[in-house]
């Protein structure tokens, strides 16, 4: 066969054109599909996995000099994980209200004790717990009650959790090894681990330079798993019923093609009251559960063109035992949010804003609404807000 015949060239050109059409068609289809579902935020952080370097995140330093000395970090307010003087680290993302995190605490205590008794591991393998959504006082109380001997630090604003791509829940454990000045993930697991030897055996192998056997990743990003099951029609009916109860006539509700963090949705709501017509914006908010036995948090918040939050509608507000907020608890949450402005940080005060047995849901609602500033700026850039 002559590879360079005119017939062969023609065939090659035709195949090339077909391939190009197929590729362009695929991307056009993908773009259309994304436009139809509103699009996803281009700033979404990839989920951390084995082989990844722990992200450059400034963590809150432990308060005591003893804990700082254990980690080998400077006596400052913040630090980076790469600064920790260790060859291997066991890092736990947890929450003080999470049942499995509470149950895992004594297991990690045993891991710490075994490491400190082993001359080959002491000083080379270190533990750290990061409290997702927790405050300093939460960590101190938990540590005292569970007699945790290693450092525990808060991630009050979910910064560290967000920077690893927001795994679907806690407890989330990683074993990392320092390579070229940075800690690299060698093992990651979602959920409680009951056997301390699981950690110890893996840490020993890494110290000896033995690669860990690959394991199937048992976790996903919370953002990819969440689904509020809110169709455009459901949002329309829910919005109309609520706003008409407040005296507004809803003229039109339109889903907007604004790129937001999945699975959020953004709508323009044209309404009328006392002869005045205006446009508000409704965001279907979604926040992943913190504990692996809890349910996700879903709701709709509405703000006007000044950024002032005008309403809050619950879809799913779970509390302890995955029971839903009652009417009084919903109203308490609404009063804490409505009237605030998405352009300014909305502070969460656990003493006054949290619902009993629903502290983390309360915190997650505030977290989500604080993301409204970014959505507002996207609406402004797209010309929906002048």
pTM to 2 decimal places: 0.86
* Counted domains in the chain: 2
Same domain? 161 vs 253: no
Residues 177 and 252 in one domain: no
Q: What is the pLDDT of residue 39?
A: 60
pLDDT in tens, 215-234: 999 999 999 999 999 999 99
Residue 174 shares a structural domain with residue 73:
yes
Residues 194, 262 within the same domain: no
**Are residues 232 and 202 part of one domain?**
no
**pLDDT, average across residues 35-57:** 79
Range of the domain at 93: 58-221
Q: Are 187 and 254 found together in one domain?
A: no
Q: What is the mean pLDDT of residues 358-386?
A: 96
Give me the percent of the chain exceeding a pLDDT of 70: 89
Question: Per the domain annotation, does 14 fall within a domain?
Answer: no
DSSP state of 197: H
Tell me the pLDDT of the chain averaged across its residues: 90
Burial 195-229 (b: 16+ CB within 10 A, else e): ebebbbebbbbbbeeeeeeeeeeebebbbbebebe
Quick one: 207 and 265 in the same domain? no
**What does the block give as tokens for 93?**
């993302």
Which pLDDT belongs to residue 104? Answer: 97
Cis amide prior to 386 (ω within 30 degrees): no
Confidence grade of residue 15 (pLDDT, cut at 50, 70, 90): very low
Flag whether 361 is in a domain: yes
Position 154 pLDDT exceeds 60: yes
Q: Taking residues 270-293, what's their average pLDDT?
A: 95
pLDDT attached to residue 41: 74
Q: How confident is the model at residue 42 (pLDDT cuts 50, 70, 90)?
A: low
| Extended beta strands in the chain, E state | 58-60, 78-80, 88-94, 125-132, 152-155, 172-179, 182-190, 249-255, 265-273, 276-287, 297-303, 309-316
* 3-state DSSP assignment of residue 168: coil
pLDDT band at 44 (very low <50, low <70, confident <90, very high): confident
Q: Do 68 and 168 belong to one domain? A: yes
- List the Cα angle 243/264/347 in 5-degree steps: 75
The reply to whether 68 and 216 lie within a common domain is yes
The strand pairing partners of 131, in sequence order, are: 94, 154
More confident: 9 or 69: 69
Which pLDDT does position 246 carry in this prediction?
93
**Are residues 149 and 243 located together in one domain of the fold?**
no
Does 356 lie in the same domain as 275? yes
Determine the Cα–Cα distance for residues 248 and 240; give it in Å rounded to an integer.
9
Task: Note whether 207 and 267 are same-domain residues.
Answer: no
CA distances from 84 to 19, 81, 155 (A): 51, 6, 18
């Amino acid at each position: 066969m002559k590879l360079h015949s005119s017939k062969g060239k023609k065939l090659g050109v035709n195949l090339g054109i077909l391939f190009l059409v197929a590729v362009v068609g695929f991307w056009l289809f993908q773009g259309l599909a994304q436009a139809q579902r509103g699009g996803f935020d281009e700033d979404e952080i990839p989920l951390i996995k084995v082989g990844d370097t722990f992200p450059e995140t400034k963590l809150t330093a432990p308060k005591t000099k003893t804990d700082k000395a254990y980690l080998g970090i400077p006596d400052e307010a913040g630090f980076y994980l790469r600064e920790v003087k260790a060859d291997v680290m066991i890092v736990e993302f947890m929450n003080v209200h999470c049942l499995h995190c509470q149950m895992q605490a004594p297991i990690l205590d045993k891991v710490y004790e075994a490491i400190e008794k082993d001359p080959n591991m002491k000083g080379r393998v270190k533990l750290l717990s990061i409290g997702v959504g927790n405050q300093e006082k939460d960590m101190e109380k938990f540590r005292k009650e569970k007699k945790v001997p290693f450092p525990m630090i808060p991630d009050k604003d979910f910064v560290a959790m967000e920077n690893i791509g927001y795994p679907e829940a806690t407890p989330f454990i990683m074993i990392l090894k320092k390579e070229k000045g940075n800690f690299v993930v060698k093992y990651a697991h979602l959920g409680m681990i009951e056997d301390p030897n699981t950690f110890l055996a893996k840490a020993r192998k890494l110290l000896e330079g033995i690669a860990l056997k690959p394991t199937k990743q048992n976790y996903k990003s919370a953002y990819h798993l969440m689904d509020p099951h809110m169709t455009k029609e459901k949002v329309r009916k829910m919005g109309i019923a609520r706003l008409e109860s407040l005296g507004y006539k809803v003229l039109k509700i339109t889903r907007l093609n604004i790129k937001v963090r999945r699975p959020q949705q953004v709508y323009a709501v044209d309404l009328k009251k006392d002869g005045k017509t205006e446009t508000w914006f409704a965001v279907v908010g979604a926040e992943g559960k913190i504990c692996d036995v809890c349910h996700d948090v879903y709701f709709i918040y509405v703000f006007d063109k000044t950024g002032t939050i005008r309403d809050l509608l619950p879809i799913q507000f779970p509390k302890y035992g995955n029971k839903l907020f009652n009417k009084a608890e919903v109203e308490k949450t609404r009063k804490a949010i409505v009237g605030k402005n998405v352009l300014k940080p909305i502070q969460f005060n656990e003493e006054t804003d949290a619902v009993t047995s629903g502290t983390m849901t309360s915190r997650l609602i505030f977290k989500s609404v604080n993301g409204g500033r970014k959505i507002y700026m996207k609406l402004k850039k797209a010309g929906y807000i002048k």
